[in-house]
Amino acid sequence: MPRGRVPRQPVRTGRQDKVRAVHAARSKSVGEAGALARPSRGKASAAVPKGRKKSAPAAAAVPRNKGYNPLAPERVTEILSRLDHLYPAVTCALTHSSAWELLVATILSAQSTDVNVNRVTPQLFRTYPTVEAFAALTPEQLEPDVRSTGFFRNKSKSVVGAAKKVVAEFGGQVPDDMEKLLTLPGVARKTANVVLGSWFKKAEGVVVDTHVHRISRRLELTTQDDPVKIEQDLMKVIPRDKWILFSHQIIWHGRSLCPARKPKCVDCPLENLCHAGDKTWSTVDMHKDAKV
Ligand code: SF4
C-alpha cells in the first residue's frame, strides 16, 4: 500500500499508557485527600500519617452523633414540658372576636407582624363589621385599609374573595372544616390551622409560621424546609393534644428568646437540649445542620 494511504494508528511506544496511569493515580489521591478534608456528618475521619498503612477505614469510622436521636420521645417530652413551664397559657396574639375576624387577621399577617396587623384590624372591623360588609366590597376598595400590612393588593383580593365565598357557599359562617377552609381564596394550611385551632379548638394540624419553621429546625424536630413537610414531621413527634398549644408556645418563644438573628441562648431554658448550629452560646455540641 502506498505511503500516506494508511489510516493513522496510535503509536505503540506505551508513552500514552504511562501518562494515563499517572493521571489516574493523581486523581485517586486528590479524591482521597478531598474526602478527608470534608468530613461528612456522622462519619469520623482522620488523616493517615505518612508511611503508615490505612487499615479498615469503614469499620473504624465512628458516627459523630452515635446514640443521639433528636426525635427520641423523652427528648421531645422534655422540650414540651419546658415550653409548658415557660409559656403556660399562651394564645393567639391576633386581635379578633369571631372566626371571620381571625381569618381576616391571619390572611393580613402574612409577611407582616401581629403587632402591625393589630394596629389595622380594630378600625377595619369597625368600618366593615360583618362578613357581608366585606363581601360587598371590591378588592380595590379594601386596599387603602390594609395597605400598611404589606402585599396589600393580594391580601385585599384574598379577603374580599374569601368573604364572597363564605357568604355565597357557607351561609355567612366560616366553616370549621379543613377541606372547606382550603377552598377559600388566600387560605392555605397555616391559616386554616390558626382558625381551626384558635377559634374552633380543633387540632387538625400544627400551625407552621416563620417562627415554627425556624425553631423546629433549630431543635431538630424536622430537617425539612417546606412548611407542609415540616407540619407532617411535627404531627408525627408531638402528641395531638399538644398541637394547638405547641405552635402558640413556639411563636412566643420565637418572639421573646429565639428570633432569627442573635437568639438569646444564654437565657433560654431549652439551651442544653438545643444543638442549633447558629446558637449564640452553648454548653453542648452544636450541629451544623440544625439551624434556620
Ligand atoms: S438555645 Fe438558642 S437557638 Fe436554641 S431554642 Fe434556645 S434561643 Fe433558640
Name every residue whose Cβ is closer than 8 Å to that of residue 238 and which is 6 or more positions away in sequence.
76, 80, 206, 221, 246
Distance 156 CA to ligand 1 centre (A): 36
Does the Cβ of 290 fall within 6 Å of ligand 1? no
pLDDT band at 287 (very low <50, low <70, confident <90, very high): confident
- The arithmetic mean of pLDDT across residues 198-206, rounded, is 97
- The arithmetic mean of pLDDT across residues 174-185, rounded, is 98
Q: Which residue has the higher pLDDT, 10 or 178?
A: 178
pLDDT band at 36 (very low <50, low <70, confident <90, very high): very low
Distance 270 CA to ligand 1 centre (A): 6
Active site residue 242: no
Q: What is the pLDDT of residue 126?
A: 97
Highest average pLDDT, of 19-23, 24-28, 41-45, 154-158, comes from 154-158
pLDDT band at 75 (very low <50, low <70, confident <90, very high): very high
pLDDT band at 5 (very low <50, low <70, confident <90, very high): low
Are 45 and 37 contacting, i.e. CB atoms less than 8 angstroms apart?
no
Q: Which of 76, 83, 279 to mutate to test the pocket of ligand 1 (most atoms within 8 A of CB)?
A: 279
Q: Which helix (H) or strand (E) holds 289?
A: none
173's grid cell: 359562617
Are 165 and 184 contacting, i.e. CB atoms less than 8 angstroms apart?
yes
Does the Cβ of 268 fall within 6 Å of ligand 1? yes
64's grid cell: 459523630
d(CA 165, CA 155) in angstroms, rounded, equals 15
- The arithmetic mean of pLDDT across residues 233-247, rounded, is 97
Are 283 and 272 contacting, i.e. CB atoms less than 8 angstroms apart?
yes
Question: pLDDT tens across 269-285, in order?
Answer: 999 999 999 999 999 98
Distance 279 CA to ligand 1 centre (A): 6
d(CA 230, CA 217) in angstroms, rounded, equals 9
d(CA 222, CA 215) in angstroms, rounded, equals 9
Ligand 1 atom 8, closest CA: 258
Query: CA 89, 92, 97, 103 torsion: positive or negative?
Result: negative
Are 285 and 66 contacting, i.e. CB atoms less than 8 angstroms apart?
no
> In terms of C-beta density within 10 A (0-12 exposed, 13-18 middle, 19 or more buried), how is residue 69 classed?
exposed
Active site residue 229: no
Q: Which of 155, 164, 165, 190 is catalytic?
A: 190
Task: Return the bridge partners of 276, or none.
Answer: 287
pLDDT band at 69 (very low <50, low <70, confident <90, very high): very high
pLDDT band at 290 (very low <50, low <70, confident <90, very high): confident
Q: Which of 114, 145, 209, 233 is catalytic?
A: 209
pLDDT band at 289 (very low <50, low <70, confident <90, very high): confident
pLDDT of residue 94 exceeding 80: yes
Does the Cβ of 83 fall within 6 Å of ligand 1? no
pTM: 0.76
Distance 4 CA to ligand 1 centre (A): 78
